[in-house]
Amino acid sequence: MPEAHPGRVPSQRILRTLAAAFFATAFLMSGAHAASSKKEVAAKKQTASAKTTATKSASKSEAKATRTAKTPDVEKTVRGGRNVTATLSKRGGKSVVTVQRRSVVRVAEPARQSFGQLAGLHSTDDVLDLKSSVALVVDQDTREVLFSKNDQAVLPIASITKLMTGVLISEAHLPSEEMITITQDDVDTEKHSSSRLRVGVSLPRGELLHLALMSSENRAAHALGRTYPGGIDTFVAMMNAKARSLGMRDTRYVEPTGLSSGNQSSARDLALLVSYAYNDQTLRQLTTSPEHVVEVGSRTLQFNTTNRLVKNPDWDIGLQKTGYISEAGQCLVMQARIAGRKLIMVFLDSAGKLSRIGDAERVRRWVEATQVMSPAAIHSPVASAQTAS
- Catalytic center residues: 159, 162, 216
Angle at 351 between CA 345 and CA 353, to 5 degrees: 85
Cα–Cα distance for residue pair 229/99, rounded to 1 Å: 61
Helices 161-172 and 218-226 cross at an angle (nearest 10°) of 40
Alpha carbons within 13 A on the beta-carbon side of 198: 7
Say if CB 211 and CB 217 are below 8 A apart. Answer: yes
Phi, psi torsion values for 149, nearest 5 degrees: -155, 110
Cα–Cα distance for residue pair 379/146, rounded to 1 Å: 6
For 130: left if phi > 0, alpha if psi spans -120 to 50, otherwise beta; the answer is: beta
138 - beta bridge partners?
145, 344
- DSSP string of 290-320, one letter each residue: -EEEEEETTEEEEEE-S-GGGG-TT--EEEE
Judged by DSSP in three states, 343 sits in strand
For 340: left if phi > 0, alpha if psi spans -120 to 50, otherwise beta; the answer is: left
> How many beta carbons lie within 10 A of that of residue 3, not counting itself?
4
Cα–Cα distance for residue pair 96/75, rounded to 1 Å: 9
